[in-house]
């Protein structure tokens, strides 16, 4: 019966059927992100054999491994981008994608995120931001909204959250966009752009975690969190004319950056060629 249900899904050819059903909690946004990524790959007609998908540790890391049918690396906590950098340098013709969560990529691995954007290496990062450390018990994270409750900030969070997309844009990425799991079609289009842009690209996905975050913040149902995303989302075109005070607690959505910059692996290979030519080491 389960196999018959899976066969009805039009993108099932991109999934590892033996790993289904997923271990994601009911209402988790991870399934939406997996669906959006599969649709983007399908619409671009990318052969999964040309992909290497890397993840770290956490709930969102499971989106790529074990569920997506491609070469995948399930790596150590916070080091997904470091692994992906090595893959891209060693296999520059592959499309290298990182899918993981905010705790993994922006907290434990925040230094790798910033410096990969600075180098502008041709990696696509899909960062799933659910505001907490979901897998380990719902602890406060650098992305937890001000005033929100978590297991380790039961009265309220007194820290302001890291603005991931703005930070990565300032670091030098070629493409940066932010959407929520309530903006699925826009999310698919941004993932498609991120996969085709040369250079470092980030798509931040604001995603619901009703089990660890929602129920502690008066949003027990997944739909409650999706309604929150829709209510508090502000298009970037409108946000440019708003003050920081007006934007407090809002989700600025849309494309923050789309620009051309020299790409790291191309520059590295040019440097290698120049050095080999200088010392007469180039093979004829």
pLDDT score of 273: 93
Is 24-279 in CATH node 3.40.50.970?
A: yes
As a whole number of angstroms, the distance between CA 166 and CA 186 comes to: 19
CB 30 within 8 A of CB 63: yes
By three-state DSSP, how is residue 216 classified?
A: helix
Q: What are the domain boundaries of the chain?
A: 24-279
b/e burial code for range 21-51 (CB count within 10 A of at least 16 → b) = eeebeebbbbbbbbbbbbbbbeeeebebeeb
Q: Which whole-number Å values give the CA distances from 251 to 42, 106, 151, 257, in the listed order?
A: 28, 17, 23, 16
Instruction: For the chain, 284 residues long, give each residue's pLDDT as a single digit of tens.
Output: 456 666 778 899 999 999 988 999 999 999 999 999 999 999 999 999 999 999 999 999 999 999 999 999 999 999 999 999 999 999 999 999 999 999 999 999 999 999 999 999 999 999 999 999 998 999 999 999 999 999 999 999 999 999 999 999 999 999 999 999 999 999 999 999 999 999 999 999 999 999 999 999 999 899 999 999 999 999 999 999 999 999 999 999 999 999 999 999 999 999 999 999 889 887 76
3-state helix, strand, coil split of the chain in percent (to 5) is: 45, 20, 40
What integer pLDDT is reported at residue 2 of this predicted model? Answer: 55
pTM, two decimals, is 0.95
Question: Residue 36 has what pLDDT?
Answer: 98
């Amino acid at each position: 019966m389960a196999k018959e249900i899976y066969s009805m899904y039009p993108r099932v050819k991109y999934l590892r059927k033996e790993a289904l059903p997923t271990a994601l909690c009911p209402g988790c946004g991870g399934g939406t992100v997996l669906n959006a990524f599969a649709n983007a790959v399908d619409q671009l007609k990318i052969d999964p054999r040309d992909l290497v998908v890397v993840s770290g540790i956490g709930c969102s890391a499971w989106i790529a491994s074990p569920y997506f049918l491609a070469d995948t690396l399930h790596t150590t906590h916070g080091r997904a981008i470091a692994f992906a950098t090595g893959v891209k340098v060693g296999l520059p013709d592959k499309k290298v994608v990182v899918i993981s969560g905010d705790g993994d990529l922006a907290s434990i691995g925040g230094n790798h995120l910033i410096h990969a954007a600075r180098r502008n290496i041709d990696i696509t990062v899909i960062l799933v931001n659910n505001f907490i450390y979901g897998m380990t018990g719902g602890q406060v994270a650098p992305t937890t909204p001000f005033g929100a409750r978590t297991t380790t900030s039961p009265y309220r969070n007194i820290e302001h959250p890291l603005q991931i997309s703005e930070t990565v844009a300032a670091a030098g990425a070629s493409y940066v966009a932010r959407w929520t799991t309530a903006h699925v079609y826009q999310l698919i289009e941004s993932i498609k752009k991120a996969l085709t842009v040369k250079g470092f690209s980030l798509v931040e996905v604001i995603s619901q975690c009703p089990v660890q975050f929602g129920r502690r913040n008066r949003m027990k149902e997944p739909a409650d969190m999706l309604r929150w995303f829709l209510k508090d989302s502000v298009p970037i075109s409108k946000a440019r004319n708003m003050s920081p005070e007006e934007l407090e607690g809002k989700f600025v959505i849309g494309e923050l950056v789309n620009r051309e910059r020299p790409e790291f692996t191309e520059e590295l290979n040019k440097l290698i060629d120049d050095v080999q030519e200088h010392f007469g080491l180039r093979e004829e």
